[in-house]
Structure 1
């Protein structure tokens, strides 16, 4: 099996976790009255970040695997958080432009999601480290 299938599967599982987190935070900050915009944010984020996450996975796949796997997971989590939180902040500002305190709320969403998703992403990486799908030639 090709490693690309693995990366697609990882992308999908991560997007489910991450989009649900962003959607929940957005509703928490902007309220249930903004359900439609929160839904659009989740859809836009999912669409854009699936591509970004796949590219991130491909890049890290090419990076040396001589790093300790735990250190590698931490570094991957940090680089992904920078890309992902920046994307969420930008999308929130675009969708909620003109909303009262939009800048402050988008900033808080990006900050809180950074903390939560850093933890969730590390767990996601640890789980996928134990799955050999797409890694038939993986050294043991």
Structure 2
């Protein structure tokens, strides 16, 4: 089960990163007013976010929290904290302005939580990398 679950977590990390990067690029462009700043911020965080997301998935996989909509909500909240900090730091570094970093980070809190929850619910319906479903949620 370990090998299958690792493949699942890598697949989830990649699909989430695609969704998350598009959202970051668009928000960064809108807030900074510069499409190139948006692209730089979006692409700078691709690697750090995939690494953070993979470990977030591994921790939650081992966590003793039953499968449910509440679990998906808790995962959404914990991931958003990590993701927002990462985005704010990259936005600050790239824009050179800590206020821009804060604005982009706070703006994506809402969009990313909605998108992440939908991503989690979608992946819950996919059995890739699972021997069997633990329980119904």
Q: Deviations over 1:17-71 (max 9, x none)?
A: 1110110011101113xx33322211111111001000000000000142x5101
TM-score (normalizing by structure 1): 0.89
Alpha carbon RMSD of aligned pairs, Å? 1.4
Instruction: Name 1:17's counterpart in structure 2.
Output: 19
Pair 132,65 (structure 1): closer, same or farther in 2 beyond 3 Å:
farther
2:112 aligned with 1:110, yes or no? no
Q: Distance in 2 between matches of 1:77 and 1:134?
A: 21
Instruction: Name 1:80's counterpart in structure 2.
Output: 79
Q: Deviations over 1:66-113 (max 9, x none)?
A: 2x510100000000000000000001111111xxxx332221211110
Alignment of 1:91-106 (within 5 A): 91-97=90-96, 102-106=97-101
Structure 2 residue aligned with 1:127, among 119, 122, 125? Answer: 122
Query: Relative contact order (C-alpha < 8 Å, sep 6+): which is higher?
Result: 1
Q: Is the 8 A contact 2:29 2:37 kept in 1?
A: no
| Stretches (4+) displaced over 4 A | none
Instruction: Name 1:30's counterpart in structure 2.
Output: 32
Unaligned stretches of 5+ residues in structure 1: none
Once the two structures are TM-superposed, the CA of residue 138 in structure 1 deviates from its matched residue by 2.7
Unaligned stretches of 5+ residues in structure 2: none
